[in-house]
């Protein structure tokens, strides 16, 4: 076979090889360019817009009943979509009290005007929770480093809407954008434990989350102790379910100084030690 | 009444010959359809964000149509000197002003019917429901709002020198009322006496245009507005339409038409 015969084949092979090299480079460049357009247009104000759109989800959660900037002086910092994600099923007495921001009407115009905007405190039905999703997605697009957006969205997706695949995909997007976020890794662990019933992956993720927490928070003057408490509690529970009582006890011992009720944790440690001794 | 109706007919013909409405409608439709084609977490039944964006675009478009159409009516007649042959006939200045108002209001009503038909189509495709009475209340209140805005802009057109300055002032005042009107009494309470008193006075004098903005009720599928409240809001709007037209007529009667 001379060179003239094999040259078309060689040319095709070379072109294919070159394409495999150039295509990923071109895609990466395109992605970078599309990102920079948003950054170029909005700059750091993207974060402000992201906060605004995240709050918009809170407005929807309350069916439009939400304090304006003039009512917000007495408002708590945490949004209620976040509170719902953090304390699923908890009582709402304090929230009800806080939500009476309108108060009694001061005059007849204000009293009459309440017929024309949402002036009663209600919460969205669980089936309507899908209406929150566009705002979360936009908030994440605008500020990919806003961890809360991913964890709260994952709660609504997997906990309420039963969209486990979408929740996992979104958390993984968040993880790619924030590789050191222990909160996202912890949330992903919850997804694997509760929805995928995959305790070994959940354990790996929570152990990784704990290491990330130690690396970032341990030496801070005010570390995020609540996050560590949650990770340790879930790890202890998982190890107990898997029958590894010594490991469960070890996690509970780390948890005891962080817990608001250390006596209960000590009692649990004692119970497990007794079971181990039998 | 036939003279104002004839003048209104001319305004309506001018409205559908101009491109403003078509451009705004196409822009609203295209933006809504593009946003509606977006999929969030593989859920195609999400509707509220789309309703919110569509209604916002409708409100912006309707405001632009109402202000720009009405603000140019009398200055254009003066500039083209067509006001003189018009007033040479047995047509009073009130007939001109009222006819212009009726024409602009009818044109705004026509535009709103088209916009809301589009909105109803989009929202019922997503939600598979059609709360006709809620949409009717919203459309009616929006039309009353347009009437107040048009009468305000007509008053501005006999007070301010140029349509551009009139339009700008109208936009600032209307958007200001929509954003702050409901809260002026609260702000007044926090201010020292002279400013607080002025803000309180404004709170009671200015038209509360926010009564007519019921977008949140539509977006969040709230129950119907009490019919008595809807009727009182309509009367409230008619009162301000009458007041602005009356003030406009007083000013227009004394206006020298030579100066353009």
Q: Which residue of A has its CA nearest to B226?
A: A115
The dihedrals phi and psi of B40, each to the nearest 5 degrees, come to -110, 115
In A, which residues are within 8 Å of B229 by CB distance?
A: 112, 115-116
User: Which stretches of A62-132 are DSSP H helices?
Assistant: 80-86, 93-98, 108-113
B155-164 pLDDT, tens digit each? 999 998 788 9
Q: Which distant-in-sequence residues (6+ apart) come within 8 Å of B162 by Cβ? A: B75
**Does B129 lie at the interface with A, CB-CB under 8 angstroms?**
no
CB-CB under 8 Å, B226 with A115: yes
CB-CB under 8 Å, A117 with B216: yes
User: pLDDT-derived band of residue A138, with 50, 70 and 90 as boundaries?
Assistant: very high
**Does B44 lie at the interface with A, CB-CB under 8 angstroms?**
no
Among the partner-chain residues A70, A163, A166, the one whose CB lies closest to the CB of B183 is A70
CB-CB under 8 Å, A109 with B208: yes
Instruction: State the burial class of residue A141 (Cβ atoms within 10 Å of its Cβ: 0-12, 13-18, 19+).
Output: middle
The predicted pLDDT at position A92 comes to 54
Residue A93 has pLDDT above 60, yes or no: no
The predicted pLDDT at position A157 comes to 93
The predicted pLDDT at position A33 comes to 60
CB-CB under 8 Å, A134 with B40: yes
Most confident of the following: A84-88, A133-137, B187-191: A133-137
Low-confidence ranges of chain B (pLDDT < 70): 258-260
In B, which residues are within 8 Å of A73 by CB distance?
A: none
Among the partner-chain residues B45, B186, B210, the one whose CB lies closest to the CB of A70 is B186
Share of chain B above pLDDT 90, in %: 68
A199-227 pLDDT, tens digit each? 999 999 999 999 999 999 888 888 888 99
Higher pLDDT, B60 or A20: B60
Residue A78 has pLDDT above 80, yes or no: no
Share of chain A above pLDDT 90, in %: 44
Residue A74 has pLDDT above 60, yes or no: no
CB-CB under 8 Å, A64 with B213: no
Residue A77 has pLDDT above 60, yes or no: no
Q: Radius of gyration over alpha carbons of chain A, in Å?
A: 25
Q: Which residue of A has its CA nearest to B212?
A: A116
Task: Name the average pLDDT for chain A.
Answer: 85
Please report where in the chains the tokens 């309509």 appear, as a residue.
Answer: B234
pLDDT (average), residues A36-51: 79
> How far is the C-alpha of B147 from the C-alpha of B237, rounded, in Å?
8
> How far is the C-alpha of B63 from the C-alpha of B172, rounded, in Å?
12
Tokens of A131: 């209406």
CB-CB under 8 Å, B183 with A68: yes
Among the partner-chain residues A113, A118, A166, the one whose CB lies closest to the CB of B208 is A113
Please report where in the chains the tokens 């605004």 appear, as a residue.
Answer: A52
Nearest residue to A59 (alpha-carbon basis) of B179, B216, B177, B45 = B216
**Does B47 lie at the interface with A, CB-CB under 8 angstroms?**
yes
The predicted pLDDT at position A87 comes to 63
pTM of structure: 0.84
User: CB atoms < 10 A from the CB of A149, how many?
Assistant: 27
The predicted pLDDT at position A99 comes to 60
Q: Which residue of B has its CA nearest to A60?
A: B220
CB-CB under 8 Å, B47 with A116: no
Residue A88 has pLDDT above 50, yes or no: yes
Residue A276 has pLDDT above 50, yes or no: yes
């Amino acid at each position: 076979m001379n060179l003239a015969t094999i040259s078309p084949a060689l040319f095709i092979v070379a072109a294919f090889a070159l394409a495999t090299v150039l295509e990923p480079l071109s895609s990466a460049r395109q992605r970078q360019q599309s990102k920079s357009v948003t950054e170029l247009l909005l700059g750091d104000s993207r974060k402000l817009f992201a906060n605004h759109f995240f709050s918009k989800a809170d407005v929807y959660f309350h069916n439009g009943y939400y304090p304006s900037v003039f009512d917000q002086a007495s408002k708590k910092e945490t949004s209620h979509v976040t509170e719902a994600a953090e304390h699923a099923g908890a009582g709402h007495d304090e929230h009800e009290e806080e939500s009476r921001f309108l108060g009694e009407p001061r005059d007849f115009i204000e009293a009459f005007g309440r017929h024309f905007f949402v002036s009663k405190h209600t919460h969205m039905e669980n089936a309507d929770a899908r209406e929150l999703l566009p705002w979360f997605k936009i908030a994440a697009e605008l500020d990919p480093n806003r961890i809360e957006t991913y964890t709260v969205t994952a709660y609504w997706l997997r906990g309420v809407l039963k969209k486990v695949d979408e929740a996992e995909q979104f958390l993984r997007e968040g993880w790619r954008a924030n590789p050191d976020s222990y909160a996202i890794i912890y949330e992903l662990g919850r997804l694997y434990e509760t929805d995928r019933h995959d305790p070994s992956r959940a354990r790996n993720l929570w152990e990784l989350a704990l290491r990330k927490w130690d690396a970032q928070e341990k030496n801070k003057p005010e570390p995020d102790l609540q996050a560590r408490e949650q990770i340790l509690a879930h790890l202890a529970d998982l190890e107990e379910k898997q029958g590894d009582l010594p490991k469960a006890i070890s996690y509970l011992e780390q948890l005891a100084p962080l817990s608001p009720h250390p006596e209960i944790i000590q009692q649990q440690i004692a119970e497990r030690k007794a079971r181990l001794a039998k | 009444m036939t003279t104002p109706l004839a003048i209104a007919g001319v305004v309506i013909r001018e409205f559908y010959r101009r491109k403003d409405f078509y451009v705004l409608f196409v822009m609203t439709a295209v933006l809504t359809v593009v946003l509606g084609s977006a999929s969030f977490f593989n859920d195609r039944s999400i509707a509220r964000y789309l309703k919110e964006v569509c209604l916002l675009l409708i409100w912006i478009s309707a405001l632009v149509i109402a202000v720009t159409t009405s603000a140019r009516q009398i200055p254009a007649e003066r500039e083209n000197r067509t006001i003189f042959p018009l007033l040479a006939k047995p047509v009073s200045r009130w007939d001109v002003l009222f006819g212009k108002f009726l024409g602009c209001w009818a044109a705004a009503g026509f535009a709103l019917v088209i916009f809301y038909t589009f909105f109803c189509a989009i929202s019922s495709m997503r939600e598979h429901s059609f709360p006709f009475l809620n949409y009717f209340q919203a459309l009616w209140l929006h039309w009353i709002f347009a009437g107040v805005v048009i009468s305000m802009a007509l008053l501005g057109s006999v007070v301010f020198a140029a349509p551009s300055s009139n339009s700008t002032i109208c936009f600032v005042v209307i958007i200001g009322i929509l954003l702050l009107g409901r809260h002026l009494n609260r702000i007044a309470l926090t201010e020292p006496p002279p400013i607080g008193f002025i803000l309180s006075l404004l709170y009671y004098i200015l038209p509360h245009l926010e009564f007519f903005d019921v977008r949140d009720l539509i977006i969040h599928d709230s129950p119907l507005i009490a019919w008595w409240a809807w009727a009182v809001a309509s009367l409230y709007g008619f009162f301000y339409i009458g007041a602005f037209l009356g003030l406009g007529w007083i000013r227009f009667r004394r206006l020298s038409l030579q100066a353009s």
